[in-house]
Amino acid sequence: MESKAANLSFEAALTNLESIVEAMESGDVPLAELLAQFEEGTKLLKICEARLKAAELKIEQLKKQKDGVSFEKFATERET
């Protein structure tokens, strides 16, 4: 599941994370499942943060190119 989660788009990871949060907030989740969902939510949160950081870096790169400053392509987590 971890490699499958790592390939999720930001939107898919966020949707899954929102579903987990809703289930946890309902209070109807048994403790064992709650812990598993918390762990999965933590992984999804890291994926979302990584995707946002990559987008932020890309935007900065595009801004610098627009201003006449250019630099080499950076490697994102997905490319490494």
Tell me, yes or no, whether 31 lies in a domain. yes
**Predicted pLDDT of residue 54:** 92
- What CA–CA distance (Å, rounded) separates 7 from 28? 30
64, amino acid identity = K
Are 39 and 11 a contacting pair, CB within 8 Å? no
pLDDT for 2 beyond 60: no
3-26 residue pLDDT tens: 577 788 999 999 999 999 999 999
Contacts of 29 (CB under 8 A, 6+ apart): 23, 37
pLDDT for 1 beyond 70: no
Tell me, yes or no, whether 47 lies in a domain. yes
Residue range of the domain that includes 44:
2-51
Tell me, yes or no, whether 75 lies in a domain. no
Q: How many domains does the chain have?
A: 1
Contacts of 52 (CB under 8 A, 6+ apart): 10
pTM of the predicted model as reported, rounded to 2 decimal places = 0.70
Tell me, yes or no, whether 71 lies in a domain. no
45, amino acid identity = L
Tell me, yes or no, whether 70 lies in a domain. no
37-73 residue pLDDT tens: 999 999 999 999 999 999 999 998 888 877 666 556 6
